[in-house]
Copies of this chain bind each other. A is one copy, B any other.
Amino acid sequence: MMIAKIHVTLKGSVLDPQGTTITKSLNSLGYDEVRDVRIGKYMEVKIDTTDRKIAEERVTEMCEKLLANTVIEKYEFELVEA
């Protein structure tokens, strides 16, 4: 069994209104040192396989097809033994 730890984040050029809101909220709570917040998704996908190479190919496909919107998002992942 393997776990794919996947990060899906907005591409750098894409506006992040949710992050802007959190920046303002933190500033108004007194955290004036906060300059910017970017929000992304984090997923842990448990995969029933032992073959790391196949797992990498399959997880890449899953990201491209379902987990990330590659027009505005980028993804990266690492595989760990579960």
List A residues at the B interface (Cβ < 8 Å).
1, 7-9, 19, 22, 25-26, 29, 31, 33-49, 58, 61-62, 65-67
Contact = CB atoms under 8 A, between A and B. Distances in A.
Determine how many copies of this chain the complex contains: 2
A16 to B, nearest CB: 10
Given A22-B67, A66-B22, A7 B42 contact: yes
Contact of A35 (B37, B43, B46): B46
A56 to B, nearest CB: 13
Contact of A66 (B26, B40, B45, B49): B26
Contact of A47 (B19, B34, B48): B34
A43 B40 contact: yes
